[in-house]
């Protein structure tokens, strides 16, 4: 079975092709036979296309003056043409899986995409404006290029459907709940994959574990996972709540927004842009949303960059503390995504607060930046894992299961 996965981000479109030849899914994520990525510049005028195959062939091009959809079609063309060709015809693809950030209350499990599903994704775009429209664009691009191939939507919110009402419902008039205002949570595909992988690494049954998974990328969220089920998470009604992020503010006093609307001439659209695109590390530091650039600026004596770092760590430690309370204990702390997998300094800073619980991180193991490893000392009472998140493989697994159930 050939499974194509599309993972749309706010500034990128990633894609990969898996080929599963056995009747059962492999335990570990296999290497895709083909991977493609388009990264757009901030002005969206050009796209940097990178493609590579499992056998080492590569393609790198920058395309200017075309739409995002045209860039994605160009990337997918590399599946069947040139040095990165791995199949003869696009019709060889059996199913296409899409990461969709927001599924609302109605879509809590992966589903085959129909017109009704597309309309629901579009309606939910006001709750995930940086992601849902792009997922929908990817679905429509596949319709144009592959015709009536089966497409599956896998929702980031789905894993968090098990969060109890006490954690999911906001302390506002209950009538708002009936309007769908509640905590949905995001990065669920990543949190779910990492919890399963953590159990494999530890040689434990997932149902016996209490985990905190830290998805730290440009977007950041924590999840408290007990017996394999999400019981709390930091993101909420939208992906804006929770931790300080690359360019998103995370949680702030809602009274600030009321004050600005009353006392200044901000529009809701302007505030939306500021909170999602001009806050977080970028807004505080004035340097970048990229933690690597923040660290460079700190080394050059930039005080605002130092403040951004300190705030980021403080919010991360505070979030972990809240998750600890909800779990009633902890077996393993898991770091994943770009920052979580690559920044030894962030992992060290996040763990320092929990030494009184017996958590001990091994400095040498931590700085090796290896993936899918335990970096705690042997005598640590809590394991500390670095796991390479495999959202694409998790989506492919769901596609395989749906196709095999038809």
Residues 317 and 353: beta-carbon distance below 8 Å: yes
Packing angle, helices 188-202 and 391-405, rounded to 10: 100
Q: How far apart are CA 117 and CA 6, in angstroms?
A: 17
Q: How far apart are CA 313 and CA 204, in angstroms?
A: 30
**The one catalytic residue among 43, 156, 165, 265:** 156
Helix (H/G/I), strand (E/B), else coil: 185: coil
Would you call 23 a catalytic residue per the annotation?
no
Q: Could you tell me which residues are beta bridge partners of residue 300?
A: none
Task: Identify the H or E element spanning 95.
Answer: strand 95-100
Tokens 């004596």, residue?
301
Angle, CA 354 vertex, CA 352 and CA 356 arms, to 5°: 110
Q: Distance from first CA to last CA of the chain, Å, rounded?
A: 14
DSSP classification of residue 206: G
Which residues touch 217 (CB under 8 Å, ≥6 apart)?
Answer: 246, 337, 338, 339, 340
Half-sphere exposure (Cβ direction) of 348: Cα atoms closer than 13 Å: 12
From the centroid of its chain, how far is CA 234? 13
Residue 347 is encoded by which pair of tokens?
């992992």
For 75, 282, 298, the CA distances from 293, given in Å and listed in that order, are 29, 10, 9
From the centroid of its chain, how far is CA 205? 25
Strand arrangement, sheet containing 95-100: 58-64, 46-53, 34-40, 12-19, 2-8, 95-100, 150-155, 111-112
Angle, CA 130 vertex, CA 125 and CA 131 arms, to 5°: 70
Q: How far apart are CA 251 and CA 244, in angstroms?
A: 7
Residue 252 is encoded by which pair of tokens?
């702030």
DSSP notation for 12-25: EEEEEEEE--SSS-
DSSP classification of residue 90: G
For 203, 256, 301, 394, the CA distances from 285, given in Å and listed in that order, are 42, 20, 12, 35
Which residues are annotated as catalytic?
156
């Amino acid at each position: 079975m050939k499974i194509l996965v599309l993972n749309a981000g706010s500034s990128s479109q990633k894609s990969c092709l898996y080929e599963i030849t056995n009747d059962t899914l492999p335990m570990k994520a296999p290497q895709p036979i083909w991977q493609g990525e388009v990264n757009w510049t901030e002005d969206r005028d050009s796209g940097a296309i990178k493609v590579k195959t499992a056998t080492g062939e590569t393609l790198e091009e920058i395309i200017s003056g075309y739409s995002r959809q045209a860039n994605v079609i160009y990337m997918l063309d590399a599946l069947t043409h040139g040095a990165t060709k791995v199949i003869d015809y696009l019709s060889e693809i059996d199913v296409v899986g899409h990461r969709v950030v927001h599924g609302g209350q109605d879509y809590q499990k992966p589903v085959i995409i129909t017109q009704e599903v597309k309309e629901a994704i579009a309606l939910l775009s006001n709750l995930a404006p940086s992601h849902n429209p792009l997922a929908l664009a990817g679905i429509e691009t596949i319709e144009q290029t592959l015709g009536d191939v089966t497409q599956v939507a896998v929702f980031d919110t789905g894993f968090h459907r098990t969060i109890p009402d006490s954690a999911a419902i906001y302390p506002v008039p209950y009538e708002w709940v009936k309007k769908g205002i509640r905590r949905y949570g995001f990065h669920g595909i990543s949190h779910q994959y990492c919890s399963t992988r953590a159990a494999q690494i530890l040689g434990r049954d997932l149902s016996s574990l209490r985990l905190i998974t830290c998805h730290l990328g440009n977007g950041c969220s924590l999840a408290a996972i007990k017996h394999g089920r999400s019981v709390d998470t930091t993101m909420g009604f939208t992906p804006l709540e929770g931790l300080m992020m690359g360019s998103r503010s995370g949680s702030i006093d809602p009274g600030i927004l009321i004050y600005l609307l009353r006392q200044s001439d901000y529009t809701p659209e302007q505030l939306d842009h500021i909170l999602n695109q001009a806050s977080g590390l970028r807004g505080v530091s004035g340097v970048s949303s990229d933690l690597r650039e923040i660290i460079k600026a700190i080394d050059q004596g930039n005080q605002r960059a130092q403040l951004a770092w300190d705030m980021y760590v403080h919010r991360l430690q505070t979030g972990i503390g809240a998750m600890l309370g909800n779990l009633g204990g902890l077996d393993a702390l898991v770091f994943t995504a770009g920052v979580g997998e690559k920044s030894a300094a962030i992992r060290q800073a996040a763990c320092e607060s929990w030494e009184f619980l017996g958590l001990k991180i091994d400095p040498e193991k931590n700085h090796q930046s290896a993936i899918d490893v335990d970096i705690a000392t042997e005598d640590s009472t809590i394991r500390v894992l670095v796991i390479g998140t495999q959202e694409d493989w998790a989506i492919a697994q769901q596609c395989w299961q749906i196709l095999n159930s038809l």
